[in-house]
Each structure stands twice: as structure tokens, then as C-alpha cells.
Structure 1
Amino acid sequence: MSYLHAPRLIFTGDFLSDVSTVNNDTAHYNNATFKPNFQAPGKGATNGWWNPEGGAVFDFQNCSVRQIFLPDGSTHSNPAFDPILGLAVCGAEGRPTGKMVDLDPDAQMVSALWCVQLRICDANGNLLLKGDIATTCFRDIQFRQLDGGKSNGQPLGATWTSVMTNVVWGDLAGQSNFLQVLRTTTRQNMLSVNLNPFGYYYAHNDGRFSLGRIIGSIGPYFEGEPTTFAAGRRLYGISYTPSIQSTYFNISNFLVETDAKRVSVDFGASFPVTNSMGTINLNQPLRLAVSKIPQTGVAGPATPTTYIAPGDFIDIGELPYQSGPDWLNQTGGIVSFDQLPDNTLNTLLDHQLILITPSAGKPGQYAIIARESIDGLFVRADNFVQRLDYGQVAEIDFYAFQWGKPLQNRPISITLDQPTPDTPLGPPPNGNPISEVYGNNYPSEGLTFQSTIVTDSRGRARMQLTGNAIHSPRVYIDGQIYSLTYQLNAVDGAFGAENLQVHLRDYFEEIKHPAWGDIADIMIQYSNLYPIMSKYVVNLADPADLIRKKNILIFAFSQDIQNTMHMPVTRDLSETKRRTILNWLNDPRIAGKTALQLKAKHARAVNPVASDAALSEKQIKYRQAVKAKNGSFQGFPGTDNLFENL
């Protein structure tokens, strides 16, 4: 994608992610079995995990511009060359910070940034550049820390790729030649941005709790490109490391520019680091090369190392990394080789790029650490995470490439993953479980989509994904999580398959004049899952407190989902549930029959034998548990068309 193009800017520093962890545990969603200690900090499922009072805040901290790369291939890091070097990179001013929110407790590996703003300012706070980062979810999660995350608790890293919209060029932008070149190069007054977070601290030590390291790259945006991933080519790690039971250099984007005779590879998300701060202790030579012969090696504990002889590759050059944290922080891990010889460039246009190192066990041979896919094939969905209501249709764009060029008239197959099983939790072997964790990917009729789509002349294919009516398949968690696998036909089997993640919300009819019982289960659940709200802002489980503070809640619930003032947790809600809560806040009624009870009464007048037979066995058990705990059942979100015994 264009963040690898020139001109590009590298910044590094820390990020703050004050995520809430009570809502990470699926069993905590069960109102019938929720316990007060589930909101207490600590380790394990008997409490709220490591940050129960998190507020979902995301922000940049201690970040600065470290390097710029210009179209002529020159790299600069001295502020004397351009005043943007060394300046602060920070978040929004005068409004709440951005948010980091999971899709669902059953889909925590596609965490999204919402409403994040990025600014570059001088020491006095004067603006050079700012823009809003379009909502994006991270992907390409891979092992980073060779110490296994012992100091901080999280050894993995990931990548957010997006575009910056509403770009503002500050009064001081004219003083930076780099920004002037960037402004004339980019299109539609947008910029591309890539963020690689790693080294995140779960551990409550070293003064870095809820902080991590972040590497950022900003470059021009070009019309027609995807916005959530790098269009082009990729290296895949095939060197398995037994000590970490994984590969390193697992996924690296790269770009080949024929006019500049340049190849640029982004190791910022894949270079193995010793610790949470990005220290590199490798001391082996690493080289980029073009393989003359097809490479098919894969990673795995039982897979032998793949070797290549010097006569079977064309050398490009050695990676100029160094031990310590400076290289990664200074360069963002992006390596560019300019003015490639014609033979090297021409071979690279339709042969695999490889990352190699001299073999200690086989003199004269090189071990292949990472390779491009067979035939240079690559397919990826752009807007790959979806939140859907009943009847809502999402259009998802897929892009297919071969050797970095659009791949035309190629079918892409899409399949729904198999259902996952329900899992009881609690004291074995008998007795009532604490809860039951319900599986995903069912009912299959929840989604409608094409099983095959075909790319057009630009290598793009569009799929329509429709959400159908489902009725609480996970009983106490709204909606269902679906995972869809897609791949090019006949693509490299080792690296070809990717996934879409969908949260389909329960069918729910808006209630125009709700009683408290119509929304009680929703609000009690949010009070359980987000203690920071109920402890410090408003008790979401107390209708009297909601009435006292209803104006601020009406404001928060009324904001657009892309607005930073939007109540973050309500991104879990269908539009009809959100409107029902707003209807109650605008006309709060504590007493009175619920809409569900009124429907049931009407149904029994028509059919006296109507009963709970319309409910699933899972839902009946849940209702019985809620009644046993609370003495009554107030309402059951998502099943308003089912009958309730009166």
C-alpha cells in the first residue's frame, strides 16, 4: 500500500490502551451467574482479569518523528534537514481520545481503533498536520518477543492499516519540505497510515501497565487502493523456532517500484525483538534475494529447514539492522534497496522474493527464513470485520494480486466455518455449572452470501453479505460470531486462506414505549461488564440513577457510532436496541408490563395453549436461572417474538 511509497514518515513511541477486561470473559455475560468478584482485578476467571476498570481509551504517548524517506531514495533523521524530524506525534486535543474495542468476547483478535486522531506538533503545540484515522481492526498477529513476554505479559504484535481523513495541514506545514512533497503526492486529501503495536503490558510493574510500543508509518494515499491492508506483495516466515513454538519474520509487506528500480520491505511488524522495548539481539547476516527456482517450504515443528545454493538466487543486499533498540525505533523496520540492476529487477517482477541467512550447518548454503507465496499470489478482503443487524447488507471488497499486479478473472471461494461446540463451565463432574459458553458459527442461516466471486479487470471482487434473523443462539450474549474463510482457487496452500469476522446481532423489534423491564437485562449486563461506568459515572443497573443522569446518557446514546462521544459499549448493540434504550431514557417508566409480556398475553388470548415451547432449551434454562437468582425474569433481549409464561 502507499504507506510504503515515498515520501514516507516514520514515528515511534508508546501507545496507551486502557482496555476493559471484565468483558473479555464470555462467562461474565451471564447475568444469572455473575458475581461481584468478577469485577475485581487479578489473574484468572474468578475475577475481572488484569484491568477490570478499563475505559477503552487509546492514545499516542511519547511518540516522535524519527525518519523521513524521499522519492529520490534518500533517508534523513537530522532535524537540521527538515523541521518535522523530532516533532511530537500525539492524539486529539480538546476532545476525548480514541477508543480500542474488541468485536466480541469470542472475537478478540480483531480489535478496532475508533475515533483516533493523529497530530504532529512542535514543542509549543503548534500544528503541522492532523487527520482522523478511519476505523480499522488489527490483523497479521504474530510472535514478536523472543523472551515470550515474560516482563510484560504479551509477546505478540499486530498491524493496524488505515487512511487518515479530514486531513488538516497546519500553518507550520509550509516550513517542512517533506510535508509539501507529501501534500502534492497524496490524493483526495487523505493519507495512508500503518501502525505496528507490540510489547503491551498486562503486568502491573515497571510503571508501564497498559502501555506498549508502537511503530507508525505515514505515506500518500492513491485512489482505488484498499484502505485496511497493503496492496502488493508479502513475505511469509517459514523458519520454525522450537523455543517459541512459532516462526519469526512471519508476515512482511513489500513493494516493488519499477520506475525507481526499488524494493521496500516492511519488517516493522515481524522483526523478532528480545523484549518489550524492541531491543534486537540477533547477530546473524540477513539478506534479501530473488529466487530463480520456485520455493515451497513451509513452517512447522516437523518441517525441515529449506536451503538454497548461491547459484539459485540473485542477491539484493544485506539488511542494515543493528543490535539494540535504535534501528527499529529509527527506521520503523522498513528497508529499501534502490537502483536495482536491470537483471535483478526484471527477475523480481515474476519470481519470489526471499529472506535468507548463511547456514552454519551447511557451508556454502543459505537457509530460507521467509519466502513469497508460490506464483506470487495474494488475496485479501478490505473491510474484513463487520457488525450486522437483521436485514442489513454489507458490501465487502476483495483484492487479488499476482506479483503485485491486479489479478483478473480469478474466482475467490468463500465458506462458512464449521460450528464450534458449547462448553459447560463449573465444578466437575456434577452440579450446576457456573455458566455455559456457547459456540459460534450457527445457525448457518444467519448469513446469506455468495460462495464464489470473480475478480474484475482491477483485480477486485465484491461480495454482498446479508444478516438474517437469529434469536439469541448464545442465550446471554447478543447475537452470534461468524467466521468465513476465503481464498483464491489453487492458491499457495501454506498461506492462501484468510478470514472474515462478522458479529450478527439478534433480531429485535424496537419498543416505542418501553418499561424498565424491557431494557433491564441489557443495562444490568453493561453494569456488570463495565464497572468503570457504574462506579464512577452512572449505575447502569439502577433505573433511578439512570433517570437522574439521563441527559448525559441521551447525549452519549444519540451520537453516531463514528463519533468519539458515542458510548463505546453500545457498539455491541443493534440499532433497534439502541433506539429502545433511548426511547426509555426519553420517557422512563420503571413499572409496567414489558412488551414481551404484553405480546405473550395477547398470544394466549388467541391461543390459550401457547407456552414456553417456542423457546429453546438453552433459553428456558437461562430464564430459570435468572428467576432463581432475582426472583423474577424482567425481559430477555433478542427474543421479543417468543412467549413468556404469565
Structure 2
Amino acid sequence: MSYLNVPRLTFSGDFISDVSTVNNDPQHYNNSSFEPSFQQFGKGSQNGWWNPEGGATFGFQNCFVKRITGEDGTSTSDPLLDGIIGQVVCGAEGRNSGKMVDLDPQQQMVSQLWGVTFRILTAKNELLLEGKIEPTGFRDLQMRQQSGGRVNGQPLGGSWTSVLEDVVWGDLAVNSPFLLALKNKTQGNKLSINLNGFGYYYSHAEDGRFSLGRVLGSLGPWFFNEPQLFAPTRRLYGILSNGGSIFFGTSNFLFDKNNARLSIDMGSSFPVSNSIGNVSLTTNLYLAVSKKAINAPSSPNSVIVASTDIVLIGKIEYQNGTDWLNKTSAILDFNNLTAEAVAALENNQLLLLGGSSQANQYVVIAREAINGLVVRADNFVQRLDTNQTNEVRFYAYQFGKPLQNASLDITLEPATPVSPKNENTPPICDIPGNNYPAAGLSFDANISTDENGLAILKLTGNRIDSPRDYMDGQIYTLDYQLSGVTPDPASGSMMPDAFIAIHLRDYFEIPEKPVWSDIKDIMVQFAHLYPIMSKFFIDFSDPNAMIAKKEILTFAFDRDIKDPIYMPVTRDLSENKRLTILKWLENPIIDEQVAVTKQKTIAKVNVVEEIALTETITLTNNQERLKNAVRAKNGSNFSSPEITNLFEF
């Protein structure tokens, strides 16, 4: 039943994401035009952006368990009632920290966590619980800060949902009734975990929080036949726009009919006035069930409902200041629902309303998906090699129940053309387009759900030969929707809600006896994109330096892809290229430089022929939204407006 089910634990604190930014710019991948200035700190794409020496690390800092919720839906933050409250949440001990990396510079909107260990310890460093977070990409990017991120530089927030695998229960776990109840209820030795991140600092501000952000976390049981990388819940979509921004954009909620309970996670969407979670909102907020369908898209125009058209559930009792959000993670439980509310919630939309309970009408701030439909891909980020077939899991629900025998349409986004990067004067080089050649992927255009609402898409990568010239492989985007059903216009206010992001790697044969020239371009590019490695560990562009440290390099390149030590940190090499590097390290041969220009030129000619057919194609709505979301993520399209009054009724 997801992280919103009970028993549930919430925690909060900081996360660190020391990402490297040299690799944010596609032009930096071109070895022939790379400049040393691209590794220097600075604003804009003619240098290393805002953190060129980042190591891609991800971890928890100053995080503590704040609250637990029991089987009866009641919550407590009193450590005298359970010793788990107040304990330390942290990452691995004595091992490398986890990593956060983009799928590709041309797909930065699914940044994934890799190799992250989650632990709860006592103040004496005694283990209570430990698990490994299954790699997962963030979703539900939405506006969070009313101040527009003037200090920290990033007013947006996003969510990672996953499972903890291989859970270890510490010896002292028996002293916590909560942990015992959680262990007894969950299945498959997994737990459901959700992380809502916001307030991230890419600004080098004087308060010392550079590369830090705020995280609100939740932990609950996981059950068989459930998705692993998103919560099988119902969803609210924000529809009231303020100055072009939508707050309360996406919120998950769970309706437990048997226990007459509604649990809602507003920790991903509740507006804050600064980067550490200060709430300054003054609007009266209510949850209610609509007696009639509301299908309005997002708009600055208010949608009004009369009190006679709703079944009121209750007021959201939030408090101003930093304590409420950070102590509760903005997860609210409405217990002992009335019989009328329970009956209405089964097949009617939940609403988030603003206004006064004394009035006869309310303004709709957010509404449930049209007809209660939720369709999501579970493992929606895919890395593919030639002739590799992966299975993508889709789940469909209607008002929280599995949608059986439903048909899903899968389509490839149109190709985007090669274009120069206009921000540079003159442009360094052309930037490749995406989604070509179309023959690079094989998949069924239509799939159907089973009795659990699950549909499986078999996705096969076919041979492609450098369609992006100086960048390995190609980025593809698949869209999906229920057959004959128009996607909800309010979903995905910042970025597309229903897509699969794929990096298909170039075809590459492992040489029988690899020499330096076989891997030179790969290693030089790595040295360019991750200067922290060259400055503090090894210059990957120097074969002799690699030979001097071949034992440790062999160890790193031989790790499982989920291991935090795995190289390359970006996880963007095909298996054959990785094995070729390992093979060369086993018997390193430095040959004379061989001409590879001809091979590159041929590949580029092929690209031009393909793109000539697509130069006039305009971007789809989803492609425009992805493009704008990337700009938003990197802070290049925000004027940082101060929004003081979100909802004026």
C-alpha cells in the first residue's frame, strides 16, 4: 500500500548532492572542441557551470526520525512512547556514498540515485535498520518556494520513490514496538521509501549550504504485486495558477475504506517561503469529495464549488514556521471518516479547497485525476545496449483500484533536429537531436493490463552507429496513455507525467586485443567531464597514469552497476565498452595514434541525412515541457519573483 500505509515513519533533515556540472552541456562531450575553461567555475555554458568539481555524491546529513504513525492511524513524536523517534538517519558507514546522476545531458529530468544506503542508528551508532535504495529517478517536479529561490537558486522540488532492499533489522530493533510492527507487516524483506527534496542550493551563498537541500522522508511497508518506484496511490493535481506557477501541483493520497481513513502526502507540494521549509501561508485549506466531476485544467481563473456540491472531510491543520513541515513531512491522516465521506470517496474526486467554512462556496486549488485514473510506468528510466531487451512495468488504477484489461498505447516522440546552441557566440559545435533513428527501438505499440492492473512492455535496443556523433548512443522518449483516453490536462504541470526515458548505447564490438586507441576517446571524454578525478585521483587521458593505478581501476570498473564505486559514475557506458576497458587494463598496450576522424565523419554524414527529413518538425508539447523543465532545473528561466499571496479568495 506504499509509504503512506501504516505503520509509517517520517524523518527530515538535509541531503547533499555534489553533482558535477561540466557534463550538463552536450557541447562539452565533443573532444575535438573541448576547452580547459569548460572545467572552471562560472555562470553559463562556456565554462563549467556552478559545480565543475562535483563528485556526483548523494547522502543524508542532519536527518532524524521525527514521527511515527501506528496501525490505528494516530501519530506521535514522543520518544518516550517509542525509542525510534529522534534517532539518526544516515547513509553507509565506511563505504562510498551514493551517487546522483542524470541519464544524459539531453535528458536531465530523471536524475537517479545509485548505490544509496539508508540506515537508522542510535546516538551511540548502534544499528536499528538498514537497507539499500533501489535505483530510482526523481519525478513530479513542481514549484515549492514562494520566494522563487532567490538565495539558494532553485525554487523547485522533486520526489524519489523506491524500495529498500535486503533490509537488515538491528539487534536493538526489538526494543521498538514500531519497528517490530513494520517488520511484521511488510513483505519480501522490502520497505517502501519516499524522499521529497526541495530548497536545493546551487548558488554559492554565504550561509554555507551550497550543494545542500532539504529532504522530507517517509518509510512504510511494501507488498507483493505493487510497483517499486512509485506509490500505488490516488493523486491530486494542482489547477490554480499564480503568476504562472502552480503550487500544490501533485500530491499522493491513500484511501483506506476498511479503516475509514484518508492519508495524504503534501510534503511534495506544500508551498514554503524559503529553502528550509518555513511555511507562511495563511489560507484556510480543506479536503472534500466532489459530488460532480471537475475536469478543469490548470488556469489562473478560479474554479468555484458550492458547499452543497461537496462532502467535507476536514480542515488541514498546518502551522506557520519551520516546525510543522519538518516534523510531520506534511503527511496528514484523517481518521474516522463519516459514512457519507467513505461512500463518496469510492468513486468520486478528492478536492483540495481554499476558503472559509462559514462561506457557501470554496475555490478548488487541486483536484483528483479525471475519473480517478492513474497510469504510471514503474521503471521509467532505461539504459539499453544493442540486442538487449528490458521489461518496463506499467500500472493502471481507477480510484485506487487496479484497472483490469485496460489497453495502453505506446508511441515514440518525433525526432528533434540538430541545432547550434544559441547561447554561445559563436556556437562551439552543433548539438545533436534525439529520437532518431526510429529503428533503434523495437516495442509493441499496444499492451494490456492484467488483474493487478499491471502491463509489461518489452523494449529492445537495436544497433545504432553514432547518431549523435561525439555523444555515445541516443536519447529516446516514449509516451504512453490509456487507449482512447485523453491525458489529464492538469497532470505534470512542470514536466510530462507519462513518459519513458531511454539511453540506447552505440553498437560496439570488443576488440580481440584492445589497444589504447580503442578506448582513448572514452577516457579522454571522461577526463574532460569529471575534472575532480583528473585533479585529485588520475588523469584518464594519460594511459601511463591508468597503468600505474590499473588494480584500483579494475576494481572500480568491475563493480555491479548498483555499487556506489561503480565506474563510470554516470553509468552511461555500454557493457561492451566497459568490458573493453577492463580487457585493456588486464593487458595495457599503448599503440601509436590511429586516425578515427574518418569513422566519425561517416557517422555524422548519416546523421545529416536522417535529420534532413526532420528539420521542419516542431517540438511536441511534451518536448517543450521537458526543454523548459531542464531550464528550470538549471535555473536559467526563473526571474525569482516574490509571491506573497498565493491564494486570494
Same fold (TM over 0.5): yes
Bigger radius of gyration, 1 or 2?
Answer: 1
Indicate the residue corresponding to 1:644 in structure 2. Answer: none
Indicate the residue corresponding to 1:305 in structure 2. Answer: 302
Greater Cα offset, 483-492 or 402-411: 483-492
Q: Superposed, which structure 2 residues align to 1:237-636 within 5 Å?
A: 237-242=238-243, 245-301=244-300, 304-358=301-355, 364-425=360-421, 433-489=427-483, 490-495=485-490, 498-569=498-569, 571-592=571-592, 615-617=603-605
Indicate the residue corresponding to 1:36 in structure 2. Answer: 36
2:374 and 2:192 map into 1 onto residues whose CA distance is 20
Is the Cα–Cα contact under 8 Å of residues 466 and 603 in structure 2 kept in the other structure? no
TM-score (norm 1): 0.90
How many residue pairs match? The answer is 602
Deviations 1:327-380 (A, max 9, x none): 1111111111011111110111000000001179x9632100000112111100
TM-superposed deviation, 1:79: 0.7
1:204 and 1:618 map into 2 onto residues whose CA distance is 43
TM-superposed deviation, 1:512: 2.5
TM-superposed deviation, 1:563: 1.5
Q: Is residue 87 of structure 2 the alignment partner of residue 99 of structure 1?
A: no
TM-superposed deviation, 1:615: 4.2
**CA spacing shift, 1:542–1:416, aligned 2, 3 Å:** same
The letter of the residue matching 1:464 is: K
**CA spacing shift, 1:561–1:51, aligned 2, 3 Å:** same
SS across alignment from 1:32: helix
2:84 and 2:477 map into 1 onto residues whose CA distance is 43
SS across alignment from 1:295: coil
Deviations 1:309-339 (A, max 9, x none): 0000000000010111111111111111011
Indicate the residue corresponding to 2:221 in structure 1. Answer: 220
Deviations 1:96-122 (A, max 9, x none): 111111100011110111110111111
TM-superposed deviation, 1:307: 0.5
**CA spacing shift, 1:298–1:226, aligned 2, 3 Å:** same
Is the Cα–Cα contact under 8 Å of residues 291 and 311 in structure 2 kept in the other structure? yes
Is the Cα–Cα contact under 8 Å of residues 557 and 568 in structure 2 kept in the other structure? no
SS across alignment from 1:378: strand
Is the Cα–Cα contact under 8 Å of residues 46 and 424 in structure 2 kept in the other structure? no
> Post-superposition, which runs of at least 4 consecutive aligned residues in structure 1 deviate over 6 A?
426-429, 618-621
1:485 and 1:495 map into 2 onto residues whose CA distance is 16
- 5+ long unaligned stretches in structure 2: 492-496, 610-649
Is the Cα–Cα contact under 8 Å of residues 232 and 405 in structure 1 kept in the other structure? no
- 5+ long unaligned stretches in structure 1: 601-610, 622-646
2:608 and 2:308 map into 1 onto residues whose CA distance is 70
Is the Cα–Cα contact under 8 Å of residues 56 and 99 in structure 1 kept in the other structure? yes
1:102 and 1:498 map into 2 onto residues whose CA distance is 18
Indicate the residue corresponding to 1:606 in structure 2. Answer: none
Deviations 1:492-540 (A, max 9, x none): 5314661100000001111131121111111111100000111111100
TM-superposed deviation, 1:457: 1.4
The letter of the residue matching 2:151 is: S
TM-superposed deviation, 1:617: 2.3
Higher relative contact order (Cα pairs below 8 Å, separated by 6+ residues): 2
**CA spacing shift, 1:237–1:344, aligned 2, 3 Å:** same
2:314 and 2:148 map into 1 onto residues whose CA distance is 30
SS across alignment from 1:375: helix
SS across alignment from 2:457: strand
Is the Cα–Cα contact under 8 Å of residues 543 and 590 in structure 1 kept in the other structure? yes
Is the Cα–Cα contact under 8 Å of residues 52 and 530 in structure 1 kept in the other structure? yes
**CA spacing shift, 1:534–1:620, aligned 2, 3 Å:** farther
What RMSD over aligned residues (CA atoms) do the two structures have, in Å?
2.0
TM-score (norm 2): 0.90
TM-superposed deviation, 1:491: 4.4
2:538 and 2:557 map into 1 onto residues whose CA distance is 14
SS across alignment from 1:327: helix
The letter of the residue matching 1:311 is: T
Indicate the residue corresponding to 2:61 in structure 1. Answer: 61
Indicate the residue corresponding to 1:624 in structure 2. Answer: none
Is the Cα–Cα contact under 8 Å of residues 152 and 203 in structure 1 kept in the other structure? yes
Q: Superposed, which structure 2 residues align to 1:177-256 within 5 Å?
A: 177-205=177-205, 206-242=207-243, 245-256=244-255
1:335 and 1:427 map into 2 onto residues whose CA distance is 45
Indicate the residue corresponding to 2:612 in structure 1. Answer: none
Indicate the residue corresponding to 1:637 in structure 2. Answer: none
